[in-house]
Chain A
Amino acid sequence: MELLLALAIGVLVFCGVYLILRARTFAVALGLTLFSYAINIFLFSMGRLKTGQPAVLADAASYTDPVPQALVLTAIVIGFAMTAFVLVLALRAYVMLGSDHVDGSESKAAREEA
């Protein structure tokens, strides 16, 4: 299970970073989302992977660590708000600047190509 999780995080980070480096705001927003998913899973796994264990309750010999779960929950809420903000900002920029390029306008080379 550790290998699978590590691979999943790796693939998510790879896709996220690739998309963040794109020039279109929508791709960048998607990339940010994927990146933060990857880190959320990573954060979750920092409490060590366990299956079928109870939460912290009396008399349990072994239990799952509740702190990373609380952290992930906070991170998800904040990440959600931030993603919403980026999307609104990107839309606004597209409407006002007339382009969805992250620099606000196409570079000369790209325009000539088109």
Chain B
Amino acid sequence: MMHLLVVPFVLPLLLGAVLGWISDERIALQRLLCLAGSACLLLVALALLQQSASGVVSVYSLGNWQAPFGIVLVLDRLSSLLVLVTAVLALLVNCYAAGGDDQLGRNFHALFQFQLAGINGAFLTGDLFNLFVCFEILLIASYALLLHGQTTHRLHSALHYVILNLVGSVLFLLGAGLFYGVAGTLNMADLARFVAQAQGDQLILLQVAGWALLLVFGLKAAFLPLHFWLPRAYASAAAPVAALFAIMTKVGLYAILRMSSLLFAPDTEAGASMGLELLFVLGLLTMLLGALGAFAAGTLHAMLAYLVLVSVGMLLAAFTLMTEQALSVGLYYLLHSTLVIAGMFLLADLIARQRGKLRTILRSGRQIQNPNVLGALFFAGAIAVAGLPPFSGFLGKLGLLQAVSGASAWLLWPVVLLSGLVVILALSRAGSLLFWHASGSVEQATQSGRTGYVAAGLLLSSALLLVVFADPVLEFCLAAAQQLLQPQLYMQQLQGGW
């Protein structure tokens, strides 16, 4: 079972390569392989979760080269949790895409698997340069996926997305190069050991490198000054792609969390003078901006894209507090926001298909074909996203509000509550326009299969499941947060190599 750790990275990579060889005319075979691969991934992710639950940090040395000389994959509670969310999301999105969206363009399934390989690799790797490579894999797959089912609108937003991320990649190299130049290693645990002892000029150089990387991760996570690409890209992507992209901002957030807990922990000299408090304020501003954007959005897709920003802001604020409770609630909220927002993107597509030319433009139109099912799903999803009881968004928000104290509470409480209110207003306006302000005869609908409804429904039902099983989930999140706040556990992996 030792090799299990490498499977989430290698399986999608190989499967993607195989799928690339199968012609698009044999779409049934492609779907079957892709679904089977995603199902396997889910099983492996569950096994890995089980493995990490004991609290042991497992290490897999590629090619059996010992850390810090070789490249390692590291599995702790945090990474296993994120791999599991990715697997769940991938399987359901895959089901949805198999309903016909995968035929809008070429090679959807192969690109999908490559993207999964990149995402899982980024979550599992314990090496800075390998993180860069995984980022590039997930990015190049995402460039092509964003263009899936080309429309001029998509082309336009893709161009911005690609150029911005290429600048980001160059900055990543700059940061990684500086780290190597100063510390002489790229293994993250080894780097952490070095940073803890660094003094004077070295420390400043390391902090500069850290900020270069933060800038790159911030671009992926899309918080305030770096968010410009997100609303347009997400709003114009095809539904399954937008749903899969719900995990992409989390890759950036994960990298920020990993770096700030391992290399620049607030109780060390390097972390204390790093100025990471700034990120807390940026997170809050992102939340406000996202809420305002959602309120002003002209289409349901744009509104959902801004809601992604709201969740990014909230997660960033939670992660930069760096307390056990805030981190654990943040992780819980991450699960919730990824799955629910992805569900909402799929749902928006189902609604769009029944509104003829209007698609998801927020204007009153003709009656849709099945307002009851879609309306109920939208209602439940909106409550979950806005953070009202009885769904998981409420638990996450409540937990975060309880987790802060002192000056940060004075900042956080008004922002969370205000943005929550604006989001409720925005969603209720959208809901009433889409379902109640409809008049006249029923709009001709393009047919969508039953799998689409099932996939969207299952993703949205995670809001309920996360409440029903809140106790074990929160317990695991708390354990993950505790592990994260003890970087020496992560650094133990080096002992074998020295």
Q: Write the residues of chain A forming the contact surface with B, with a CB cutoff of 8 angstroms.
A: 20, 25, 28, 32, 35-36, 39-40, 42-43, 45-47, 67-68, 71, 74-75, 78-79, 81-82, 85-86, 89-90, 92-93, 96-97, 102-104
Pair B159/A90 contact, Cβ less than 8 Å: yes
Enumerate B187-203 residues with CB–CB distance to A below 8 Å.
none
Flag if B163 contacts A86 (CB, 8 Å): yes
Residue of B nearest to A105 (CB): B156
- Docked CA distance A47–B179 (Å): 11
| C-alpha spacing A102/B147, complex, angstroms | 16
Q: Which of A32, A75, A85, A90 has the most CB of B within 10 A?
A: A75
A58 to chain B, nearest CB (A): 17
Which of chain B's residues have a CB closer than 8 A to the CB of A46? 177-178, 180-181
Say whether, besides A25-B159, A46-B181, A86 and B166 are in contact (CB < 8 Å). Answer: yes
For the complex, what is the distance from the CA of A71 to the CA of B127, rounded to whole Å?
12
CA distance A89 to B156 in the complex (A): 10
CB–CB A20/B167 < 8 A:
yes
Contact yes or no, A71 B167, CB < 8 A: no
* Contact in complex: B159, A102 (CB < 8 Å): yes
**Nearest opposing residue in chain B for A103, CB measure:** B156
CB neighbours (8 Å) of A74 from chain B are 129, 133
4 shortest A-B CB distances, which residue pairs? A46-B181, A43-B177, A104-B156, A46-B177
Task: Give A16 to B438 CA distance when docked, in angstroms.
Answer: 53
Please indicate the chain A residues that have their CB under 8 angstroms from the CB of B173 in the complex. 36, 39-40, 43, 75
Once the chains are docked, how many angstroms separate the CA of A67 from the CA of B158?
Answer: 34
Contact B156 A71 (CB under 8 A): no
A68 and B180 within 8 A (CB):
yes
Measured between alpha carbons, how far is A25 from B176 in the docked complex, in Å?
28
Known: A39-B170, A82-B140. A89 touches B159 (CB 8 A): yes
Q: Identify which of residues 241-259 in chain B touch chain A, using a CB-to-CB cut-off of 8 Å.
A: none
30 A–B contacts from the bound complex (CB under 8 Å)? A20-B167, A25-B159, A36-B169, A36-B170, A39-B170, A39-B173, A39-B174, A39-B177, A42-B174, A43-B176, A43-B177, A46-B180, A47-B180, A47-B181, A67-B180, A71-B176, A71-B180, A74-B129, A74-B133, A78-B133, A81-B140, A82-B140, A85-B140, A85-B143, A86-B162, A89-B147, A89-B162, A102-B159, A104-B152, A104-B159
Q: How large is the interface on B (under 10, 10 to 19, 20 to 34, 35 or more residues)?
A: 20 to 34
* Contact yes or no, B160 A102, CB < 8 A: yes
Smallest Cβ-Cβ distance to A25: which chain B residue: B159
Q: Is the CB of B155 within 8 A of A32?
A: no
CB nearest neighbor in B for A28: B163
Per the bound structure, the CA–CA distance linking A40 and B172 in Å amounts to 12
B24 at interface, CB cutoff 8 A? no
Main secondary structure of the interface of A (DSSP, over half): helix
B contact residues around A86 at 8 Å (CB): 162-163, 166
B interface SS class: helix
Q: Report how far A20 CA is from B143 CA in the complex, Å.
A: 19
Q: Would B163 and A93 count as touching, CB distance under 8 A? A: no
Contact present for B180 and A93 (CB under 8 Å): no
- Nearest Cβ on chain B to A45's Cβ, whole angstroms: 8
Could you tell me the distance between the alpha carbons of A71 and B71 in the complex, rounded to whole angstroms?
A: 13
How close is B205's CB to chain A, nearest CB, in angstroms? 11
Whether the Cβ atoms of A78 and B159 lie closer than 8 Å is: no
B136, CB-defined interface residue at 8 Å: yes
Beta-carbon contact of B129 and A93 below 8 Å: no
> Once bound together, how far apart are the Cα atoms of A111 and B158, in whole Å?
24
Further contacts, 18 of them, CB under 8 A, given A47-B180, A74-B129, A96-B152: A42-B177, A43-B180, A67-B180, A68-B177, A71-B180, A75-B173, A78-B136, A78-B169, A81-B140, A82-B136, A85-B143, A89-B143, A90-B159, A96-B150, A96-B155, A97-B156, A103-B156, A104-B159
Chain A residues near B155: list those with CB within 8 A. Answer: 89, 92-93, 96-97, 104
CA distance A93 to B143 in the complex (A): 14
Nearest A-chain residue to B151, judged by Cβ: A96
Bitwise, B123-167 to A at CB < 8 A (1) or not (0) is 000000100010010001001000100101001101110110011
Q: Which residues of A sit under 8 angstroms from B143, Cβ to Cβ? A: 85, 89
Chain A residue contacts of B162, Cβ below 8 A: 85-86, 89
Residues in B with CB closer than 8 Å to A102 are 159-160, 163
What are the residues of chain B within 8 A of A47 when measuring CB–CB? 180-181
Contact A89 B152 (CB under 8 A): no
| Most chain A CB inside 10 Å of its own CB: which residue of B140, B160, B162, B163 | B163
CB distance from A71 to the nearest CB of B (A): 6
Please, how many angstroms separate the alpha-carbon atoms of A32 and B152 in the complex?
Answer: 24
- Give the nearest-CB partner of A45 in chain B: B181
Give, as a whole number of angstroms, the nearest-CB distance from B211 to chain A.
16
Chain B positions within 8 Å of A75 at CB level: 173
A19 to chain B, nearest CB (A): 12
